[in-house]
Structure 1
Amino acid sequence: YHAIQAGMDMGIVNAGQLAVYDTIDPELREACEDVVNNREPKGGGTATERMLELAGRFKGTAGKEAQERVLAWRDWPVEQRISHALVNGITEFIDADTDDARRAAERPLHVIEGPLMAGMNVVGDLFGAGKMFLPQVVKSARVMKQAVAGLLPHMEAEKLANAASGIDNGERQTAGKILMATVKGDVHDIGKNIVGVVLACNNYEIIDLGVMVPAAKILQTARELKVDVIGLSGLITPSLDEMAHMAAEMEREGFDIPLLIGGATTSRVHTAVKIHPRYAKGQTVYVADASRAVGVVSALLSNEAKAGYVENVRAEYKKVADAHARSEADKQRLPLARARANAHKVDWTGYEPPKPSFLGLKVFEGWDLAELARYIDWTPFFQTWELKGRYPKILDDEDQGPAARQLFEDAQAMLAKIIAEKWFAPKGVIGFWPANTAGDDIRLFTDEARSHELATFFTLRQQLAKRDGKANVALSDFVAPVDSGKADYVGGFIVTAGIEEVTIAERFVRANDDYSSIMVKALADRFAEAFAERMHEKVRKEFWGYAPDENLAPDDLIGEPYRGIRPAPGYPAQPDHTEKATLFRLLDGERNAAVSLTESFAMWPGSSVSGIYLSHPESYYFGVAKVERDQVEDYARRKAMPLAEVERWLGPILNYVPARYAEAAE
């Protein structure tokens, strides 16, 4: 603070321990300044002695005196109390403080536009400067929503009274109106909700249409409500094609407002190559995370900054697209026949595939939540909240540590409630079937006679030319071929944390508690993944039983050091989401696990995991990456699916421009 006053332009600080200057206890602050400025304390003695005395007192303070110090801010003026509550995420007193401010204000609206927005501006500044982290901002939003909810009845009463008297009520002035939606066929919304909270904290009005929203509804709502920006979110790869379609529809219907793109599968490259060119009248911008959203939106809605910002984005996207084209041109890919000739070679002669303990299906309900909690991988949980780092090291991170520890403490508190009160009801189903491969297809049979096919899992093969003798792999390489004479098997699974997360999250939203709503969804995701991990362990040791002596602690499983894999349709080893349809038919997922598929093959409820089990010791995870037209045409023939439909589902991995896109470009 004093260095800045003296002209310092830049400083290196521990943001996790940086207190707001005005919130430091006045006595402690004065003692600190005595040390920093090398001045004698007013009460005599040396600055060092005074600091040591205070340090011991503040560190050891307990009981009533500690409580008095903690609540000292309650004696501040109401505007400062509101700002303190917002910055620190304290809801305990906000109703009373907001009411005090309302009584002193001319209108209830002035409380929102005055002390509440002033406090949120502080939050926004601290977040933008890296002095607050996302979990803290979401807590601040919870305080803001609770305060506004308390003012709404008074605002409605004023509105009715003014209407009766013919007085213009006047509307709250916001920084802009933003429509947000998870695109058609996609059910995932945690990231979207977080971005909405951050933008709302910066005085943007958010219209959230929810999940699985068709393009027509998004555009109709945008036109009717005259929004300033549209933001699209999605997690699964089919959502990428839906976003590109949305951009083309905005172009066709004459929109020119900014289009924001975000979500786990989105990227700057995909936005620059596949979405940006379809929307020439407006500007498409990829938003990597919530911390960047405010800067992007403010630039796009600024009369002074917009033109320069858009020019820079377009120049950047041209460079990205050109670099991507050069990179892809430099990569050599093999014709499908040569890729197949370079398949992963397994010596089946000396290998006997293990037989599962049962064939058919096994359904599970009411799995112990406490047991599943032991299998939670916490690193992705912190990533959901945009805290980057691996657990448990992140708890001691120099910058993020304090925020991570507080978030983890809150998560543990909710986790205890989830377990004790059985908020979730996990369900799952697994199955095993006789199987052998024919080419790149995994054929499943009705019984051990293997004379009648039950279903086929179609796989895709890597086509990138490899060095050092590395294979061009497909999942079918890890299952014994029909002509090997070996009786092999394949398993499948669907597990879910349960539909209850949806109801609970909605309850928190109605209570203006976005923090808890996002928290419960994030924990539901962790339970689903933990369930998948625990089920796979049971499969290896018991249900399939090919690793009965495996002895790994839950934490050891995160690195997947065990034998066998559980690849999922829609992920790198099999990018085709439509293969889920076969898996769900085999397992009767809707009846046995209460999990269904959307039109884009997203699973509902969102906190669900599915995949197949492969047991061979040489099986491993890989990415198919880009594929050529010859494989796509062959794949379409094998699946008996129209080529255009296959190209739509495989859009993100095509190494060519499908005819329908080429015609549209012309």
Structure 2
Amino acid sequence: VKAGAHALDICLANPDRNEIEDIKQFLPLISRNIKIPLMIDTTNLEIAELACKITAGKMIVNSVNFEFGEEKAIKAIELNRKYGAKIVFGLIDEDKERGIPILAERKIAIAKRAYEFMVKKNNFPQDDLIFDALVLPVAVGGEYSRSALETIKAVGEIKKLWPDIKTILGISNVSYGLNIRAREVLNSVFLHEAVKEGLDCAIVNIEKLLRYSSIDKMEIELCKDLIYATKESAAKELSDYFKEKKEVKVEKSGNYTNNEKIYFNILNGVKADIEESIREELKIKSPIEIINGPILKAMGEVGRLFSNGELIVTEVLSSAEVTKAAISVLDPELKKNKNSNRGKILLATVRGDVHDIGKNLASVIFESNGFKVIDLGIKVPAEVIVEYALKEKPDFIGLSGLLVRSTEQMSLTAKELSSNGISVPLILGGAALTEKYVINNIIPVYGAAVIYAKDAMDGLNKVLSYLSGDKISYSKGENLEVKENKVAVIEALKINSEYYPSKIAVPKDLKRKIFMDFDIDILFENLDWPMFNFKFLRAGPANKFKIKELEKTLIEFKEEIKKNKLIKAKGVYQFFKANSQNNSVLVFDENENLLTEFVFPRQQSGKFLSIADFVSPIEKGQRDYIAFCAVNCGENLRENISLFKEKGLYVKAYLLESLSLMLAESFTETLHFHIERDWSLLSENSYDSSSRPKLKGKRYSFGYPACPDLANQAKLFSLIKPEDIGLTLTDNFMMEPVAAVSSFILHNEKAVYFSLCLNLKTFFFIVEFGRIFAFFA
């Protein structure tokens, strides 16, 4: 349980003992001391019922099947109706002649029979049914040589037929007959392959389960040859390999030294016994030897795996949590030695910028690697950074920013630091920052080394390289190729009347609609999970199995968010009358009074588009309509993140911030639907939570390609008053809290998305909000 099990499988069947008496004595004891679900594994359903009576909460009953007909299945249905028990249904039937099913085809036939009997005939809840496709010892050979492949195929087919029914496998059966070292590796590779096909649950010895990315590639290939039956000699080759191999990396083994246990615990993100291992190691080594030894060695390997795409962000943070737990044990001794850390780094998000998700990630990574971190937070003016730099005397200063305006602040801050005689290495990064900008605009004004970092891990690696004497920084006076960065002046060259709306959609009313506690379940249903995985986990289709492993954590954390109201969704929108005039959109109130004017730039080539082209012109004499919208999912966000970080719960802190950002996007999409419904563009019942409605209009946000001027945010705020839902603007017109989105919506179906610069690759960094992994941003 300490190692991270989600449920505990209990089997007390023993021919030399009384199973009923053992259940009566053992289950109450285990129930009082373990707060995770229990699975009773027994062939006797009378004993299973006794377990359901004794144990609080929802029991999982294993070993139900058709081996002796339908009698046991009927009893299992009764257990579900009386106690709410989940049922693991093994895909075995009465056919003694053919025995245990090996081929996927037969397993699926039994699954279909079980589905018809349990669900169709007896109304058994699908959520409480778990199919066990059965794992057999693949290394035995003969008819079993394809058994692992057939089981994986069966799991995939079950998930296609019944997506809502869970699947489970007893993983260790696959490696029966091999030596212990081979078993541990084969079990982990087989689990990995099964999860890729959709496996939901696995019965494993979690302390012997290896992280897939830590397994040698040669060992993976040998296991795959056996699992997929690509070679007749696969079992022998795997067995021979491990007979010759003296050592296999495992998370925990009695044969390992404490030094090795610390390394593998951090590498694999396992907290179990880390504090005990550290205390034992302290008896023979100093704290700094432990930090510079297994701790930094493990985090260095984590960094390498992350850079290669073999780990996702949450796995890095899990390793950081273990490191934090290790450091907490060392801390009392470290405080006795002032020179015990690798250096001090001062971090800040520059003035006017509220984005800090990447900065927080960098803070965790640097701290986990032996640096003392002083985090000044967000919107930090240059003079404050100078003040703390003089006071704290850091070894490095890290500056971050998200948008183009923030890069200007970095340049100003670098100049202020230099004019005050500060010459420590400067680390710079962020979504809007490029190496070219650093060379052109920051190197010339700073009198010391400057390090450009593309992301948090790159920043750490470059700092470590700098400390070792490698050349990874730039300095003023070096012979650098500095190319002039000319900014074209965009003029109003052409008005595109063909984009004017064909007809005007009139909203129901012009009243302001405000939501102070929107249903967060709807927002989770509409959340763009593939984009979440890409943006915040840095996980694409190739990381399918890692995403699957994280799914349970996300589900549990979602419930925690709802229960403790960690995220509260507030929103506002309102319709206004509008017309275009040249490159401007004029906004009027219901009494025809002019409220404000938005000036939109126009492309200098191509189709010469401007957003004004999508609104009916004033000379036509008919009012058009525009909707403005703002949402806030970041109330008390920073405080809640800080609480998680103080407890060393870095994964939860990161997930809370990233989910808040994505839920704000989901909320905006949801309100867009409400707006189009009020516009009568969508019917009242066209919304289906299982699939997003196809919106007819277009939604734009200031700061993005078609309307990059963030100063227009002030005008949007004057119209719909987002202050009432807790939003404010910084000096640079960025919203706070950061988990917020503002936008305007046009009903015109001719409207399109476009960029003022036709070479999107050149200017993509200006508007790509998704690069949250930029260093500190």
Specify the TM-score bucket, using the shorter chain as the normaliser.
0.7 to 0.9
Given that 2:346 and 2:394 are in contact with CA atoms closer than 8 Å, whether structure 1 keeps it comes out as yes
Deviations 1:448-491 (A, max 9, x none): x42x212222322222x22xxx2x12222111111111221111
Deviations 1:254-303 (A, max 9, x none): 33333222222222343333333333x22433322223223322333333
User: What residue in structure 2 maps to residue 544 of structure 1?
Assistant: 679
Given that 2:573 and 2:627 are in contact with CA atoms closer than 8 Å, whether structure 1 keeps it comes out as yes
In the alignment, residue 136 of structure 1 is paired with which amino acid?
Answer: E
Query: Structure 1 residue 555: deviation in Å?
Result: 7.8
In the alignment, residue 171 of structure 1 is paired with which amino acid?
Answer: N
Compute the TM-score of the two structures, normalised by the length of structure 2.
0.62
Q: Equivalent residues in 2 for 1:211-610 (5 A)?
A: 211-279=378-446, 281-303=447-469, 305-306=470-471, 310=474, 318=481, 321-322=482-483, 325=485, 336-337=491-492, 339=493, 341-343=494-496, 345-347=498-500, 351-385=502-536, 387=538, 389=540, 394=541, 397=542, 400-447=543-590, 449-450=591-592, 452-463=593-604, 465-466=605-606, 470=607, 472-540=608-676, 542-548=677-683, 557=692, 562-591=695-724, 593-610=725-742
User: What residue in structure 2 maps to residue 6 of structure 1?
Assistant: none
Aligned-residue identity in percent: 28
Matches of 1:570 and 1:415 in 2, distance apart? Answer: 30
Q: What secondary structure sits across from 1:353 in the alignment?
A: coil
Which stretches in structure 1 are left out of the alignment for 5+ residues?
1-12, 37-45, 56-68, 160-168, 628-651, 654-666
Query: Structure 1 residue 533: deviation in Å?
Result: 0.8
Distance 1:92 1:179, change over 3 A: same
Distance 1:286 1:119, change over 3 A: closer
Deviations 1:172-225 (A, max 9, x none): 041x33221111111111111222333334333322211111111112222322
Matches of 1:585 and 1:54 in 2, distance apart? Answer: 75
Q: What secondary structure sits across from 1:149 in the alignment?
A: helix
Given that 1:359 and 1:432 are in contact with CA atoms closer than 8 Å, whether structure 2 keeps it comes out as yes
In the alignment, residue 426 of structure 2 is paired with which amino acid?
Answer: L
Query: Structure 1 residue 359: deviation in Å?
Result: 0.3
1:84 maps to 2:256: no
Rg bigger for which structure? 2
Given that 2:627 and 2:675 are in contact with CA atoms closer than 8 Å, whether structure 1 keeps it comes out as no
Distance 1:309 1:610, change over 3 A: closer
Matches of 2:401 and 2:430 in 1, distance apart? Answer: 5
Deviations 1:93-130 (A, max 9, x none): 3233333333x246555544444334434434544565
Q: Equivalent residues in 2 for 1:145-160 (5 A)?
A: 145-153=324-332, 159=336
Matches of 2:454 and 2:722 in 1, distance apart? Answer: 34
Given that 1:366 and 1:426 are in contact with CA atoms closer than 8 Å, whether structure 2 keeps it comes out as yes
Given that 2:341 and 2:372 are in contact with CA atoms closer than 8 Å, whether structure 1 keeps it comes out as no
Matches of 1:552 and 1:491 in 2, distance apart? Answer: 20
Given that 2:403 and 2:432 are in contact with CA atoms closer than 8 Å, whether structure 1 keeps it comes out as yes
Q: What secondary structure sits across from 2:403 in the alignment?
A: coil
Given that 1:369 and 1:422 are in contact with CA atoms closer than 8 Å, whether structure 2 keeps it comes out as no
Distance 1:170 1:259, change over 3 A: closer
Given that 1:564 and 1:620 are in contact with CA atoms closer than 8 Å, whether structure 2 keeps it comes out as no
Matches of 1:106 and 1:71 in 2, distance apart? Answer: 22
Given that 1:236 and 1:602 are in contact with CA atoms closer than 8 Å, whether structure 2 keeps it comes out as no
In the alignment, residue 406 of structure 1 is paired with which amino acid?
Answer: E
Deviations 1:573-592 (A, max 9, x none): 2111111111112111112x
Matches of 1:583 and 1:499 in 2, distance apart? Answer: 20
Q: What secondary structure sits across from 1:116 in the alignment?
A: helix
Which stretches in structure 2 are left out of the alignment for 5+ residues?
1-188, 194-207, 223-231, 242-248, 760-765, 768-777
User: What residue in structure 2 maps to residue 140 of structure 1?
Assistant: 319
Question: Which is richer in helix?
Answer: 1
Given that 1:184 and 1:239 are in contact with CA atoms closer than 8 Å, whether structure 2 keeps it comes out as yes
1:172 maps to 2:304: no
Q: Equivalent residues in 2 for 1:65-84 (5 A)?
A: 72-73=252-253, 76-84=256-264
User: What residue in structure 1 maps to residue 357 of structure 2?
Assistant: 190
Q: What secondary structure sits across from 2:681 in the alignment?
A: coil
Distance 1:155 1:289, change over 3 A: closer
Matches of 2:596 and 2:750 in 1, distance apart? Answer: 24
In the alignment, residue 517 of structure 2 is paired with which amino acid?
Answer: G
Which gives a bigger RCO, structure 1 or 2 (Cα 8 Å, sep 6+)? 1
Distance 1:313 1:562, change over 3 A: farther
Matches of 1:270 and 1:201 in 2, distance apart? Answer: 30
Given that 1:357 and 1:544 are in contact with CA atoms closer than 8 Å, whether structure 2 keeps it comes out as yes
Query: Structure 1 residue 626: deviation in Å?
Result: 9.8
Given that 1:425 and 1:500 are in contact with CA atoms closer than 8 Å, whether structure 2 keeps it comes out as no
Query: Structure 1 residue 142: deviation in Å?
Result: 0.8
Distance 1:407 1:234, change over 3 A: farther
Query: Structure 1 residue 131: deviation in Å?
Result: 4.6
Given that 1:74 and 1:81 are in contact with CA atoms closer than 8 Å, whether structure 2 keeps it comes out as no
Compute the TM-score of the two structures, normalised by the length of structure 1.
0.72
Given that 2:425 and 2:448 are in contact with CA atoms closer than 8 Å, whether structure 1 keeps it comes out as yes
Matches of 2:535 and 2:340 in 1, distance apart? Answer: 32
